[in-house]
């Protein structure tokens, strides 16, 4: 089969980790007789530098027509001036919003071989951590009205958390559907003791739970949820939450499973078009050194094969290859522990390719 993939390497370590993922996809193409066409596009800080805009029209247009988008990372200290009119992150929000990718799946899995890399005690980790964060991605405070104004001679700034019931329903439904495919437990995270938008969110979850009698549902406030995640992560199966809370909880979930360098993500909408990216950022401190962990991006391509191309065997092949490499003791610096072999970005990519 033929698939057109829009590739946005972006900034920092983005290009390095994307290169390895393309090697992996090409190997899959060879082995299973698929033809992956890659079209390279600019977005983020590099696009600001060369074209004056974080998200050139052409990039969004090509992404819309593609079968899937592979993204490395955007941003970096060079473009971090808080007063700047254009910021690399606008590219991400522009892509998410422009492609209507309202659902962000962030699976946080603790690989057995990486137990050592988790900061949590063995007694807490037990037989492993396996959580899927379902994050709303095109609404809430990320997309609400914001601005600055002078009130009574004092400068003030505001951002708005706003959700309509349709936006909540479509993401909560995915939360329930995801739970049905897993261990049938759904935790909805909100701040309903304070926020009106959270109270609406909670009522939607309650109402929809009637359609899913098999799913065990509970509600946690975000402060409690972030505590429970380190205290007893095994209580979680699927977490469904807003854009902002999902951003925070998914970073925390990644850390307890060893490294932010391991976590993939899929951003999905109504159709099969999806955007696939590691949840880590551009890591400017290690960019260009060839030491970044490419596994999160490689695992994101597995999600691409699964969710956009419906190629489950091929997706599993990549995931199994990653497990093998880890079990054989190969590690990038972020997940290195005693007695394992340190490898760089390219070697890690090669090791995965060899095991496919
Ligand atoms: C993420 C990132 C982005 C977000 C940033 C880079 C805008 O942290 O994908 O989690 O906040 O969504
Ligand atoms: Mg984040």
Residue 64 annotated as part of some ligand binding site:
no
Specify whether 57 is catalytic: no
User: What is the 263 CA–ligand 1 centroid distance (Å)?
Assistant: 13
Residue 85 annotated as part of some ligand binding site:
yes
Cα(80)–Cα(86) distance, integer angstroms? 10
Specify whether 158 is catalytic: no
Q: Could you tell me the CA-to-CA distances from 339 to 327, 330, 336 in Å, in that order?
A: 12, 10, 9
| pLDDT score at 126 | 92
Residues with CB under 6 A from ligand 1: 75, 89, 92, 247, 279, 281
Cα(85)–Cα(36) distance, integer angstroms? 37
Residue 201 annotated as part of some ligand binding site:
no
Cα(65)–Cα(68) distance, integer angstroms? 9
Task: Spell out the residues 6+ positions from residue 30 whose beta carbon is closer than 8 angstroms to its own.
Answer: none
**Which residue of the set 102, 111, 142, 307 is catalytic?**
142
Task: Spell out the residues 6+ positions from residue 158 whose beta carbon is closer than 8 angstroms to its own.
Answer: 145, 146, 147, 148, 149
CA–chain centroid gap for 181, Å, is 19
Q: Using the atom order of ligand 1, give the atom closest to the CA of residue 265.
A: 9
Contact (Cβ atoms closer than 8 angstroms) between residue 177 and residue 209: no
pLDDT by 10s per residue, the chain, length 356: 899 999 999 999 999 999 999 999 999 999 999 999 999 999 999 999 999 999 999 999 999 999 999 999 999 999 998 888 899 999 999 999 999 999 999 999 999 999 888 999 999 999 899 999 999 999 999 999 999 999 999 999 999 999 999 999 999 999 999 999 999 999 999 999 999 999 999 999 999 999 999 999 999 999 999 999 999 999 999 999 999 999 999 999 999 998 889 999 999 999 999 999 999 999 999 999 999 999 999 999 999 999 999 999 999 999 999 999 999 999 999 999 899 999 999 999 999 999 99
Query: Looking at the DSSP assignment, which residues form a beta bridge with residue 283?
Result: none
Burial class of residue 44, CB neighbours in 10 A (0-12, 13-18, 19+): buried
CA–chain centroid gap for 41, Å, is 20
Specify whether 191 is catalytic: yes
User: What is the 244 CA–ligand 2 centroid distance (Å)?
Assistant: 9
CA–chain centroid gap for 150, Å, is 37
| pLDDT score at 103 | 98
* Sequential DSSP letters for 107-165: EEE--GGGGGG-SS-HHHHTT--EEEEEEE-SSGGGTS-EEEEEETTEEEEEE-----H
Q: Using the atom order of ligand 1, give the atom closest to the CA of residue 247.
A: 10
With H, G, I as helix, E, B as strand and everything else as coil, classify residue 8.
strand
Contact (Cβ atoms closer than 8 angstroms) between residue 301 and residue 25: yes
pTM: 0.95
* Sequential DSSP letters for 204-265: HHHHHHTT-TTSEEEEEEHHHHHHHHHH-GGG-SEEEE-HHHHHHHHHHHHHHTT-GGG-EE
Q: Which residue has the tokens 């009522």?
A: 203
Cα(168)–Cα(162) distance, integer angstroms? 10
Specify whether 111 is catalytic: no
Specify the DSSP class assigned to residue 12: T
């Amino acid at each position: 089969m033929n698939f057109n993939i829009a590739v946005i390497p972006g900034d920092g370590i983005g290009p390095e980790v994307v290169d390895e993922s393309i090697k992996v996809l090409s190997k899959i193409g060879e082995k299973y007789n698929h033809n992956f066409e890659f079209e390279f596009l600019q977005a983020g800080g590099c696009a600001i530098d060369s074209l004056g805009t974080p998200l050139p029209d052409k990039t969004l247009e090509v992404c819309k027509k593609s079968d899937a988008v592979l993204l490395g990372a955007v941003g970096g200290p060079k473009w971090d001036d808080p007063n700047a009119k254009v910021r690399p992150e606008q590219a991400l929000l522009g892509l998410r919003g422009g492609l209507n990718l309202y659902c962000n799946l962030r699976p946080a899995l603790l690989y057995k071989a990486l137990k050592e890399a988790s900061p949590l005690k063995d007694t807490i980790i037990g037989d492993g951590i396996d959580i899927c964060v379902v994050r709303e991605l095109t609404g809430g405070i990320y997309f609400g009205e914001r601005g600055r104004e002078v009130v009574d001679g004092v400068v003030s700034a505001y951002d708005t958390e706003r959700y309509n019931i349709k936006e909540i329903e479509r993401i909560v439904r995915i939360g329930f559907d995801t739970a049905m495919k897993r261990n049938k437990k759904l935790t909805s995270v909100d701040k309903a003791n304070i926020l009106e938008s959270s109270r609406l969110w909670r009522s939607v979850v309650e109402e929809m739970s009637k359609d899913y009698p098999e799913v065990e549902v509970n509600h946690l406030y975000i402060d409690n949820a972030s505590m429970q995640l380190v205290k007893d992560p095994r209580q979680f199966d699927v977490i469904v939450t807003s854009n902002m809370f999902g951003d925070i909880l998914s970073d925390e979930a990644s850390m307890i499973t060893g490294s932010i360098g391991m976590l993939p993500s899929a951003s999905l909408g109504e159709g099969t078009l999806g955007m696939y990216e590691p949840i880590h950022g551009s890591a400017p401190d290690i960019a260009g050194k060839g030491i970044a962990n490419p596994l999160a991006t490689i695992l994101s391509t597995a999600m691409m094969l699964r969710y956009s191309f419906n190629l489950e065997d091929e997706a599993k092949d990549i995931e199994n290859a990653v497990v093998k490499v880890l079990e054989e003791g190969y590690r990038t610096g972020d997940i290195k522990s005693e007695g394992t072999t340190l490898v760089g970005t390219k070697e890690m990519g090669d090791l995965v390719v060899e095991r496919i």
